[in-house]
A and B are shown apart, each in its own frame.
Chain A
Amino acid sequence: MTNVIESLAVPGATSGVPAARMVQQHLRWPTERFYWAVLDGSSLPRNHSGRRRREQLGYLFENVLPGVSIEDIQTAYVAMDEDGQHVIACGVPTTMIREAVDGSSFSDILTLSPAEIPQFVKSRERADVDPEQFNLLTGDLEPNAVRQSRRRMFGWAVAMLVLISGALTIGLQRRIAQSHEQLTAVQQQEGEIHRHVLGSIPAASSQPPHLRLLSELRQLQQTRQPSGGTLSPSIDIVRDFETLMSAWPESGSVFMQTESIVITDQSIAIRGRVPTMADVQVLADALTSDGWKLQQPQSNQVTDRSTKSSVVELSLWLDRASSAVIDSPGLAEAGGS
């Protein structure tokens, strides 16, 4: 008896009528009707619990039963301490319970437990165990009412689970549908933006609209944004021409027969004929303006073949000064000869 600390086998229930008393639906039998033992469960594996541990406690309990098989005994075990090393075992022959419970007067019995804990158990330290914990109407002997009640509760629990699961699934599906609706709306909005910006998209176009938009944006960034002075020359030659024409002396003061005017981004070259040397100076003075530097005029007196008169051939050269700023009236009004 290595694992049994103390045991007391009580074979008192051999007489026919059980000395029991019924307290409502909870049957209490005298202590003497039960087999009792305090088992040492310290040697049992700690990881075993429930059914497995119960089986192993049964083997320990069987060792102290006087010629009775554990299979014939309905047992209940209650740990005396928190770590479960000391266990109180309580048992009663199954046949005795059946005989008692099958009687019509016990049809409503829900629990069967000892009226008291035996004295030798009580005397042990911390053995403050409630006798009602030793309910023996369990397992195969479980009352129909208890079983039905448990089944009913189980059914309710399952029904609640089904309801919760169903509600969850329905809720999730509704949110999915909502998300899809929003997605469709967002996609329509995107399509409208594409149509607004890109116009109608040809059906044969293989390029997705957002790539077309990106392509359009990049093309515009390349063609619409000025990037320094390299793309469009800052020198405005048309404006130079306008300035020149504005500064040109009136035909009443100087009559010049212009042969050529060449305007580039660096200079203005004027070639022509004037009647006298004095006209060269008048012309040079008139054309001198801010932003331009007049080089020394080149003049040469020659005889005109058609009129046989003396004229002056001249060349004027104006260089653009750095940071030239020219301001003048509109070109359309400009004139000269």
Chain B
Amino acid sequence: MNKPRARMMGLWILGTVVLVVPTMASARQLHRASRELELARSRVQQTVTMARHVMELRSTQQTVAERKRPEQDVIARVNECLAACGIPSDRFGGLRPEADSAVGNQGPGTSANSRLRRQSVLVMLNDLTVAEIGELLTYWQSHQPLWTTARLELLHSRDQAMSDYYSLNLLVSATYVSEGESPTS
């Protein structure tokens, strides 16, 4: 191959590179940007769906606690309930944890339930009238949906001067997601 021909060939190659490379690079960038945009749109769509679902779920009543409730939390709830019903807080006679057990499986496909546990607590209240007991139970039921009443026991006061008063032993239970089993896992 003679020199002018080689030079011409070199110029052709150079020209092609100069003309084609930027165009090709731009086309590749555009392809990448389009793909990125498409992915982002798909992710936003997914996010919108999840957000809508979250909002819907938030508007429903909570039936399971995120974690086990400590005794202090239950005491605070009982005191709040007493205050709301106008019952002196000294009527609260104490609290005793009763049970903490796994919620039984109902068969295959209930893996979510296998991470759930139910804690039960006995709440002891003294010197309440039947009306106060009724009001207390109604308030508790409407304001503490997590804590359902499993058993109630009314014991008549032994004191003759307080013949209309009862002690109330209330066994309440709540289902919670077991700690150590992350909800995201």
Q: Is the interface of B mostly helix, strand, loop or mixed?
A: helix
Contact with B along A168-193 (1 / 0, CB 8 A): 11001101100110110011011001
Which residues from A are CB-within-8-Å of B87?
A: none
A-B residue pairs, 5 tightest by C-beta: A172-B26, A179-B33, A220-B57, A219-B183, A223-B64
Which B residues from 92 to 139 make CB contacts under 8 A with A?
Answer: 103-104, 106, 110, 112-113, 115-116, 130-131, 133-135, 137-138
Interface size on B, residues (CB 8 A): 68
Instruction: Give residues of chain A (219-259) contacting chain B, Cβ–Cβ below 8 Å.
Output: 219-228, 230-233, 237-238, 241-242, 245, 257-259
Binds B, one of A57-65, A144-152, A157-165, A285-293: A157-165
Is A197 close to B, CB under 8 A?
yes
Residues in chain B near residue A225, CB distance under 8 A: 57, 60, 63
* Interface size counted on chain A using CB atoms at 8 A: 68
Q: Which of A169, A196, A211 contacts B23, CB < 8 Å?
A: A169
Q: How far is B155's CA from A181's CA once the two chains are assembled, in angstroms?
A: 73
Nearest A-chain residue to B27, judged by Cβ: A172
Tell me the nearest residue of chain B to A229, going by C-beta.
Answer: B106
B116 in complex: contacting residue of A180, A231, A242, CB < 8 Å: A231
How distant is the Cα of A183 from the Cα of B38 in the complex, in angstroms? 9
- Selected from B34, B57, B110, B154, the residue in CB contact (under 8 A) with A221 is B57
A261 at the interface (CB under 8 A from B): yes
Selected contact of A193 from candidates B20, B51, B62, B151, CB within 8 Å = B51
CB–CB A169/B48 < 8 A = no
Contacts of B183 in A (CB 8 A): 215, 218-219, 222
> Please, could you name 22 A-B residue pairs with CB atoms under 8 Å apart, sorted by A?
A172-B23, A179-B34, A183-B33, A186-B37, A189-B44, A190-B44, A193-B47, A197-B55, A210-B43, A215-B183, A222-B116, A231-B63, A237-B149, A237-B151, A238-B149, A241-B152, A258-B154, A260-B155, A264-B151, A331-B137, A332-B134, A333-B134
Contacts of B30 in A (CB 8 A): 172, 175-176, 179
Cβ–Cβ contact A210 & B47, under 8 A: yes
Closest residue of chain B to A270 (Cβ to Cβ) is: B154
* Most B-side CB within 10 Å, residue of A190, A218, A242: A190
User: Of all chain B residues, which has the CB nearest A180?
Assistant: B33
Name the B residues within 8 Å of A165 (CB-CB).
19-20, 22-23
- B62 touching A223, Cβ below 8 Å: yes
Tell me, yes or no, whether A335 is within 8 Å of chain B by CB: yes
Asked if A213 and B184 make an inter-chain contact with CB atoms under 8 angstroms apart, the answer reads no
- Contact call B137/A241, Cβ cutoff below 8 A: yes
Do A224 and B63 touch (CB < 8 A)?
A: yes
A222 touches B137 (CB 8 A): no
The interface centre, meaning the residue of A224, A226, A263, A330 with most chain B CB atoms within 10 A of its CB, is A224
